[in-house]
Amino acid sequence: MAWTDSRFDRQIRFVHLGAAGQERLEAARVLIVGCGALGGSLAMQLVRSGVGQVVLADRDVVELSNLPRQVLFSETDLGRPKSQAAQAALQKIGGPSRIEAHDVHVDADVLLELAPRAQVILDGTDNLATRYLINDYCVSRHVPWIYGGVVGSSGLVLPVLPGVGACLRCLFPAPAQVGSLESCQTSGVILPAVQLVSSLQAGACLRLLAGKAGGSEPEAPRLTMVDAWSTEVRSVSARRDPACPCCGMREFPFLDAPTENAAVALCGRNTVQVRPQSKSQTDLARLAERVRAIASAVRVHSGVLEFQVEEFHLRVFPDGRALIEGTEDPARARAVYDRYVGS
C-alpha cells in the first residue's frame, strides 16, 4: 500500500499491528457519535492512525466554553456546527482517511441510516439516552461499540462486544434518574481526563479493527475506571448478565420506541434542543427575513441561523432543529420554538 511504507512505518513496526493490521485499519469504517471532547479526540486519533472511513455525527455548535477540552476547534470555529468544524480540522491531517460529517441529532432513525457498514461505533456523547440507544442497536446487530464517559478528572471505559462480554444494560439496567449523577455542570471536566478516556477507547477500537492481526481471539472486556488527577486506575470484569433485558432477553426499547419530536435539555448548557414536528428542510434565509422585525442579532453563519428574541438565543439548523439557549425547561423551549420558528 502506498501509505504503509512511510507514513505508518512506526505503527507497522508495532508487533500487534503489522502490515496486515494497518491494511485492515485502512479498509475499516467507524461511526463516532458526538464530536466534542471525547468524540473529537477519538476522531483525531483514528484519522492519524489511518482508519479508512470516519463518520462523525453531532447535533451541536462550537462554543467558547468548549475550547479548553475539545481539541479540534479554535476561536474561528465559534458558532459553527461541530461536525463541520471537526471535518475541516481532520482533513488538514491528510492521509488515507475519508471523513463524513453529519450535523444531526442521533435518534433511532438516524442511527439506522448511519450505522450500517460500520465495524465499530464509538461513544463520544454527553447523554445516557443516546448511549442506551447505541447499546440497543449494537446488541441487536452484533456490532461492537465502546462506551466512554468522563466528568471531573475521572472516567469510565467499557468495550461492548455482543456475545462475548457485558453490554451496557448488564451493568446499568436502566438510565439513572435525572439529576442523580455528577455532570460537567456540577463537577466540571479537565482535558487530561478526556484524553485519558479517549485514548483507552481508541486503543480498544484499533485492536478490534486490526482483528486477528491485533492478537488472539477477543477476551471478555473489562470496565476500566481512571482518574487523571489521582492517577488511580481500576479494572473489573464485565461479565454478561443472563437476565439482562437487552443481551439476555433481547428487548430493545430504546431502538424500537417511535422517534419522538422531543425537546431535550442539553447537559450543563441552560439550552434545550427542539426538533420539528415533521422532517423537512427549513429555508433559513426566508426564516431570517421573517424574524428580523422582531429579533436582534439575526445572521446566517456556517449554515446555521442565529437570532436573539426575548431572553433567548436561538440557533436553527437546515433540518429544522433548534437550540434554544436561556432555559432548561423543555416545555417552555417548545413554546418558544412554535412561536418564532413554527410548529
Active-site annotation holds for 184: yes
SS3 337: helix
Contact call for residues 226 and 149 (beta carbons, < 8 A): no
Please tell me the number of Cα atoms within 13 Å of 14 on its side-chain side. Answer: 16
Catalytic residue among 184, 205, 246, 267: 184
SS3 39: helix
Contact call for residues 122 and 51 (beta carbons, < 8 A): no
Residue in 284, 291, 279, 286 with CA at minimum distance from that of residue 336: 291
Helix then strand count (H, E) for the chain reads 12, 14
Angle at Cα 53 formed by Cα 48 and Cα 55, nearest 5°?
100
SS3 196: helix
The CA distance from 133 to 108, in Å, is 7
The CA distance from 142 to 120, in Å, is 10
Contact call for residues 100 and 54 (beta carbons, < 8 A): yes
One-letter amino acid at 238 equals A
Catalytically active residues, by annotation = 184
